[in-house]
A and B are shown apart, each in its own frame.
Chain A
Amino acid sequence: MAHLNHTRSAAGRINGARSLNIDLIAIGIGLTLAALIRFNILPSISF
């Protein structure tokens, strides 16, 4: 039981770390793109 709990806690921590990484990457890419647009390094983008 203790081993199972330990394994679950580890899984929870790893999920949290993965989620944090994705969040930080999303923020990093988002702010970088915004800066590139702000300083006219990226041309205007259409969709």
Chain B
Amino acid sequence: MSAITIPSPTDVQTASPARRLLSVLPGMALLFGIGLLGKLLEHSQTLLHARYPQIAVPHIEYVLWAIVLGLIIGNTIGVRDVFRPGVATYELWLKLGIVLVGGKFLLQDVLHIGGLSLALVAVELVLSISVMTLLRRIFYLPPKLTSLLAIGSSICGVTAIMAAQGAIEPEEEDTSTAIAAILTLGAIALFTFPAIGHILHMSQQGYGMWAGLAVDNTAESLVTGALYGDEAGRWTVLAKTARSSFIGFVVLAYAVYWSSRGLAPDVPHKGLFLWHKFPKFILGFIALSILATAGFFTHGQLTSLSNLSRWAFLPAFAGVGLRTNLRDLVGQGWRPLIVGILGEIFIALVTLTLVYWSYNHGVAR
């Protein structure tokens, strides 16, 4: 199952660059094909509604179409081997979209909302790690699996778990289980968060912040935000990016903890460790934000940049649907899933409260 496959040293590509490029083309065509089909379906719906206004058809955004089409393909006929390398490029499209969306934010917004996100993440971190530790005792989960679930649910989903893998050296089964739980919970968030946002009449910014702070995996988080609206999607990018920048600190804390117990290697150069774990694509996001703030782009050029980011997100959203395996919902053992679900519900409520508090007390604007 692709979603929980852990790359091993043997996965290193030794083929020539031209051959590697050729190998990703079918999967990339599949990603863009699904995304474009989603856009086409949304457009057809709009035309249909304009022509027959008397027929009440719910408007479904291209984001949801892309995910649903990906889910159907991934869970029925499956993703053939020839498509897999290209489908894996969804991560590149996702990061490219995030870099490009940096142009939509003035640096002062990045500093203000990013700083607010960091403060909220710090609170979220302490609470989620405490709750996960408590749940571990109740459900008798292995301690390193709990560490992985806490890292994944408090910071950045799969990326954080993979970053922790080399540092705390858990059993491979624990890593797979933690990743499967995080991805499963992300899939659930895709459909529950927008509904909750609408029920609570949340603003685009408030909802975007919430999705960025509460949904773990970057891809699912961004889709959850975009499903509520374009503006919400952009705020989700900002909140999630700020949250992701914490990866190094949390993984380092766990590495030092397990190392002190003699169950993981020592971390000799902590500064270097932090730099290695820092997600570098965030620097591209900040660079474009600085250029936009300095007036490097005209208004029309910023709109083009924003539209380019939406084109980049299109295949990424299709990739989220394709790699979500619904069979994993039941195939990973009930205890990690229950712990994950309880932890996630707690985090969702805490972050919702924190976001509401921030907006009602003038901390956010």
Residues of A whose CB lies within 8 Å of any CB of B are 5, 7-16, 18-20, 22-27, 29-31, 33-34, 37-38, 42, 44-47
Contact = CB atoms under 8 A, between A and B. Distances in A.
Nearest to A4: B169
Contacts of B265: 5, 9
Given A12-B162, A34-B305, 11 more contacts: A11-B7, A11-B9, A15-B162, A15-B163, A19-B162, A27-B280, A29-B96, A31-B288, A33-B308, A44-B304, A45-B308
Interface of B: 6-9, 11-12, 91-92, 95-96, 98-100, 102-103, 159, 162-163, 165-167, 169, 265, 276-277, 279-281, 283-284, 287-288, 291, 296-297, 300-301, 303-305, 307-308, 310-311
8 contacts: A7-B9, A11-B8, A23-B280, A26-B92, A26-B284, A31-B284, A34-B305, A44-B301
Q: 6 tightest A-B contacts by CB?
A: A12-B166, A30-B99, A27-B284, A26-B95, A23-B280, A47-B307
Nearest to A20: B280
Nearest to A21: B92
Given A22-B92, A44-B304, A45-B304, A15 B165 contact: yes
Nearest to B264: A5
Contact of B311 (A9, A11, A23, A45): A45
